[in-house]
Amino acid sequence: MLNKVMAFQYLTIFALVFLTMACRSTAVDPLSPDVNGGQSAIGSSAPLLQGGAPGEPNRNITVEEATDLSGIQHTAADVEFMQGMIGHHAQALEMTALLYDRSTWQDIRMLAQRIDVSQADEIKMMQGWLTARNEGIPENAAHHTHGTMLMPGMLTPDQMAELAAATGSDFDRLFLEYMIMHHQGAVIMVEALFASPGAGQESQIFNFSSDVIADQSMEITRMRRMRGMLEDR
Amino acid sequence: MTATMIALRQHHHRLTRLTLALGLITGLLMPNQGLAQERQEDPRVGLAAGFLDAGQAVHNMELVRNLPKPDGFYDPEQPSGAPRTPPPPEPAEGEEVPTNPPTRPPQGLSYTNSDLAFIDNYMFVGNYHGFNTYSVEDPQEVERLASYVCPGGQGDVSVYGNLLFMSVEQTRGRLDCGVGGVEEPISSERFRGVRIFDISDIRDPRQVAAIQTCRGSHTHTVVPDPNDPNNVYIYGQGTGSVRDGEELAGCIDLEREGREVIQDPDEEPDTALFSIDVIQVPLGAPDTARIVNRPRIFADPETGSIAGLWQGGDHGEGTQNSRMTTQCHDITVFAEHGLAAGACAGNGILLDISDPVNPVRLDEVVDQSFAYWHSATFNNDGTKVVFTDEWGGGGRPRCLATDLPSWGANAIFDIVDRELVFKNYYKLPAPQSERENCVAHNGSLIPVPGRDIMVQSWYQGGISVFDFTDSANPVEIAFFDRGPLPGELGTMGGFWSSYWYNGYIYGAGIARGVDVLKLTPSMHLSQNEIDAATEVELGVFNAQNQTIIEWTPSPAVAGAYLDQLTRRNGIRAAHVTTLDGLLGQLDQPSAELPDELDALATELESDARLLPNNASRLHSLAETLQDLSASLR
């Protein structure tokens, strides 16, 4: 009788141990090297769950499954967006470079300074993004290359020459007109990015493109108002 | 309060008196002098870079432990999130160009730890990739209970009863929590909005609803309705682009007509911009939660324009460029005061939320140093509010020695007759390097009676604890900081949120996981004050849903008021001696003790009438003594 009870107990313990091990092997591999510095010491029995849709159950997954972000790798459209936006931003800097010799209007000079700071900052960020992904970084002046297709809102060489030739309030008016068009182009580029299959999924590109929409839309509004001031002068 | 509990506190109390006395001798009479010296040799400057082995500086607090991010919540090939080394040189002409690089690009940002929430003994750590649940029953030995993968960023979390709410904004978010993203630009599988989970089984949370919104949910706020126990409300703050109306009906952007990408907002009165989402969650049936309003809280009451607040731009020469107010980044509600503070891009706003479905704007302010109004924290009395400015969006180094101390800082306002009155700025006082993203970020109150104290995250600037009792003169009390993350060009990291919960500070690190810290006594903060804060036991904490803190009378609370009065020279020396003696007797109370406590309370009350600058503290101390006396009778 005693033996039977003990045998039953052993069997139960064995079954429990086996079940625990089986559960663990799906959730956490206790033998896997701890690259992150000591997490395994605590919470090793905590399940790693893949959430379900509303009303649906969760399931246990492996670390490999949890970190498989192959579905949200950057796409060719993301790379083209970043490469194109560098040239796009670089042209904005060329436009503001013209301004300082040609305009004395304080408001527009300050606008230009802001564009300088933010676009130069973002160019650096985009170059870093491309570098980290082994993708080519275009020269800032690459958009001058003959035959290069211009990004939306970008000025043609003739329009740039026209802007360079303008002076006084003619320059201010033309600068605002072209910069509004240029910024609208950036917003169109973001919209096009989000309309490309699989693009804009990565966290960094999502954050950046959201910022582009917010910042450039704001500057468009501001420039529109300045254009109104110019007409009133 | 029982006699045993009182006895336990006694030895702390006596030790602190000595510490405080020493503090007084060594320069407390000129409090700013000491701090100025500290700043010159600030140990936060020049800390060594590294991942989990970076240099550390800690002052008036101690690191209890670090909880690295669990497996599944970091890039296994690059745990720190640092960018990889630059690519090999271009192949020579004629050589075959490799189409795909052999390694995966870094995905650090996709595993960003974000906001924290607490209920009972549980802590929820939000992440762009899902959330992690911990038991903080023993804060010295925090235990992870479950890791839940459900990507979409920012993953800000809140709790209410057995429900957990989570913000999702990214286009990769999926209704089914999958990690694979959403390939199609317009898809019914995409989720951007507020997820609702049932956490009755803490180790197996279930998604019960997912409320789709037009701009996703960057942050959200739990808003209880004191008059309606059957529902709770969520304010969803979307800051991303407006999605296509084909994906979610009723989502209307402004950029619609040909090349005219920006219309006059009032030509499109149904636009998803210029609003927040008010979600009603029936507690009995959370799966039926739905959007019940999109209030136009930026409207101009005179013209009726929905875009009635800041139009974007600077405020004159040398001033900051403030974002156009098309959205709120964050709203903090304080239902017991009937108030909410909205940090809304170009404005700070004050809302009356007596009717949570229909918030009414009471006041709005702009600030010439603020780029992007980001978050808000009230003091306990609801008479002050600290707004943060997330200049640069959080990813940029904005705490350089050359940056203005009023830019990327906090702005502290008094609330006078339900209007905001600017008092001063507070910025992390230690300059950070070019490699460290740093700007004002999320924090919470530390419940020290008689003072307004806040703990706050500054990304890679670390954690800073400061006092804003005098809102015009905020003063730093304690800090914790680490050196930059690996990566020469700078790696996104640092503290997202740092909150006080039941005696400990929990800092959510973007890359290095959660740090658990404790305050230590100093001349700026006594052991009694720390003990009194620690005695406050909350059953739930959501940073954006503040509740009034009340202190149970105790020797530590009395000691905290006494220490504050001593520090200000606001109490007679004879009373200090008497009170020390009386508090020392609490563990073995004599029959006369209650009467002696009451007698001292009466004297303090009469002093309060003579010393207007210290009246409120003398009164609070007297009241505490009377309560202690009553508990002995």
pLDDT tens sequence across B376-394: 999 999 999 999 999 988 9
Calculate how close chain A gets to B230, using CA atoms only, in Å: 21
The phi and psi torsions of A170 (rounded to 5 degrees) equal: -60, -40
Burial class (CB in 10 A: 0-12, 13-18, 19+), B605: middle
The phi and psi torsions of B520 (rounded to 5 degrees) equal: -120, 150
Lowest mean pLDDT across A199-203, B490-494, B627-631: A199-203
Of B71, B313, B323, the CB nearest to A36: B71
Spell out where B200-286 has E strands. 206-212, 219-224, 231-237, 277-282
The phi and psi torsions of B57 (rounded to 5 degrees) equal: -130, 130
Judged by CB atoms closer than 8 Å, whether chains meet at B261 and A217 is answered as: yes
**Which residue on chain B is closest to A190 by alpha carbon?**
B241
A-B contacts (CB, under 8 Å):
234
Best CA proximity match to B539, nearest among B163, B116, B200, B120: B120
Judged by CB atoms closer than 8 Å, whether chains meet at B106 and A132 is answered as: yes
Q: How far apart are CA B182 and CA A199, in angstroms?
A: 9
Of A46, A196, A204, the CB nearest to B146: A46
Residues of A in contact with B135 (CB under 8 A): none
Judged by CB atoms closer than 8 Å, whether chains meet at A48 and B183 is answered as: no
pLDDT number for residue B263:
64
Above 90 in pLDDT, residue B84? no
Above 90 in pLDDT, residue B337? yes
Judged by CB atoms closer than 8 Å, whether chains meet at B393 and A211 is answered as: yes
The pTM of the full predicted model, rounded to 2 decimals, is 0.86
Mutate to test the interface with B, among A42, A184, A189, A227 (most CBs of B within 10 A): A42
Best CA proximity match to B381, nearest among B117, B570, B541, B620: B620
Alpha helices in A28-167 (DSSP H): 63-66, 76-102, 106-132, 157-165
Residues of A in contact with B312 (CB under 8 A): 218-219, 221-222
**pLDDT average, residue stretch B118-135:** 98
Judged by CB atoms closer than 8 Å, whether chains meet at B240 and A210 is answered as: yes
Calculate how close chain B gets to A190, using CA atoms only, in Å: 9
Calculate how close chain B gets to A8, using CA atoms only, in Å: 30
Alpha-carbon distances, residue B28 vs B60, B249, B526, B531 (angstroms)? 15, 62, 12, 21
Judged by CB atoms closer than 8 Å, whether chains meet at A55 and B255 is answered as: no
Residues of A in contact with B178 (CB under 8 A): 50, 71
**Which residue on chain A is closest to B182 by alpha carbon?**
A198
pLDDT number for residue B95:
63
pLDDT in tens, chain A (233 residues): 344 444 444 444 444 444 444 333 333 333 333 334 334 444 458 999 999 999 999 999 999 999 998 888 888 999 999 999 999 999 999 999 999 999 999 889 988 988 888 888 889 889 988 888 888 888 766 666 655 667 889 999 999 999 999 999 999 999 999 999 999 888 888 888 888 888 888 888 888 888 887 777 778 878 888 898 888 76
**pLDDT average, residue stretch B307-332:** 90
Judged by CB atoms closer than 8 Å, whether chains meet at A201 and B181 is answered as: yes
Confidence of residue B545 (pLDDT cuts 50, 70, 90): very high
**pLDDT average, residue stretch B445-466:** 98
Calculate how close chain A gets to B479, using CA atoms only, in Å: 24
Confidence of residue B490 (pLDDT cuts 50, 70, 90): confident
Higher pLDDT, B333 or A215: B333
**pLDDT average, residue stretch B580-596:** 93
Of B79, B86, B133, the CB nearest to A35: B79
Above 80 in pLDDT, residue B256? no
Task: Collapse the DSSP code of B194 into the 3-class scheme (helix H, G, I; strand E, B; otherwise coil) and give the result.
Answer: strand
Judged by CB atoms closer than 8 Å, whether chains meet at A133 and B109 is answered as: no
Calculate how close chain B gets to A44, using CA atoms only, in Å: 8
Q: CA A67 from chain center: how many Å? A: 19
Task: Collapse the DSSP code of B620 into the 3-class scheme (helix H, G, I; strand E, B; otherwise coil) and give the result.
Answer: helix
Above 70 in pLDDT, residue B275? yes
pLDDT number for residue B412:
98
Of A72, A184, A197, the CB nearest to B259: A184
pLDDT number for residue B440:
98
Of B68, B107, B128, the CB nearest to A39: B68
Identify the structural domains of chain A with CATH numbers, from first to last. Answer: 2-68 (no CATH), 71-232 (1.20.1260.10)
Judged by CB atoms closer than 8 Å, whether chains meet at A46 and B110 is answered as: no
pLDDT number for residue A138:
83
pLDDT number for residue B333:
98
Percentage above 70 pLDDT, chain B:
89
Judged by CB atoms closer than 8 Å, whether chains meet at A42 and B143 is answered as: yes
Best CA proximity match to B391, nearest among B314, B276, B331: B314
Q: Per mean pLDDT, which of A215-229, B87-101, B446-460 is the most reliable?
A: B446-460
* Angle (nearest 5°) at CA A25 between A22 and A26: 100
Cis peptide, bond prior to residue B154, ω within 30 of zero: yes
Judged by CB atoms closer than 8 Å, whether chains meet at A198 and B150 is answered as: no
Q: How far apart are CA A125 and CA A212, in angstroms?
A: 13
Alpha-carbon distances, residue B318 vs A207, A230, B552 (angstroms)? 28, 22, 49
**Which residue on chain B is closest to A49 by alpha carbon?**
B148
Give the right CATH number for B56-81+106-541 from 2.40.50.140, 2.130.10.10, 3.40.50.10090, 3.50.30.50.
2.130.10.10
Q: How far apart are CA B346 and CA B320, in angstroms?
A: 11
Q: How far apart are CA B479 and CA B498, in angstroms?
A: 11
- Domain ranges in chain B? 3-47+552-632, 56-81+106-541
Residues of A in contact with B149 (CB under 8 A): 48-51, 61, 66
Residue with token string 């100025």: B36
pLDDT number for residue A214:
74
The number of helix segments (H) and strand segments (E) in chain B equals 7, 30
In the chain, the amino acid numbered A179 is M
Best CA proximity match to B438, nearest among B471, B469, B405, B465: B405
pLDDT number for residue A139:
78
The phi and psi torsions of B364 (rounded to 5 degrees) equal: -145, 145
Chain mean pLDDT for chain B = 90
**Which residue on chain B is closest to A213 by alpha carbon?**
B241
Confidence of residue B314 (pLDDT cuts 50, 70, 90): confident
Of A51, A52, A204, the CB nearest to B109: A204
Mutate to test the interface with A, among B85, B202, B241 (most CBs of A within 10 A): B241
**pLDDT average, residue stretch B181-193:** 94
Calculate how close chain B gets to A175, using CA atoms only, in Å: 17
**pLDDT average, residue stretch B327-340:** 96
Of A52, A55, A128, the CB nearest to B83: A128
**pLDDT average, residue stretch B169-175:** 95
Above 70 in pLDDT, residue B506? yes
**Which residue on chain A is closest to B264 by alpha carbon?**
A221
Residues of B in contact with A227 (CB under 8 A): none
Judged by CB atoms closer than 8 Å, whether chains meet at A47 and B204 is answered as: yes
Judged by CB atoms closer than 8 Å, whether chains meet at B207 and A52 is answered as: yes
Of B86, B143, B261, the CB nearest to A43: B143
Q: What is the pLDDT of residues B236-248, one digit of tens each?
A: 999 988 899 999 9
pLDDT number for residue B96:
64
Of A53, A66, A197, the CB nearest to B176: A53
Q: How far apart are CA B429 and CA B399, in angstroms?
A: 9
**pLDDT average, residue stretch B368-376:** 97
In the chain, the amino acid numbered B167 is S
Higher pLDDT, A206 or B292: B292
Residues of B in contact with A73 (CB under 8 A): 104-105
Alpha-carbon distances, residue B466 vs A83, B410, B473, B566 (angstroms)? 44, 11, 10, 20
Q: How far apart are CA B388 and CA B374, in angstroms?
A: 5
The number of helix segments (H) and strand segments (E) in chain A equals 7, 2
Residue B311 contacts residue A226 (beta carbons within 8 Å): no
Residues of B in contact with A43 (CB under 8 A): 70, 134, 143-145
What the block records as the tokens of A113 is: 């300074």
Residue B492 contacts residue B81 (beta carbons within 8 Å): yes
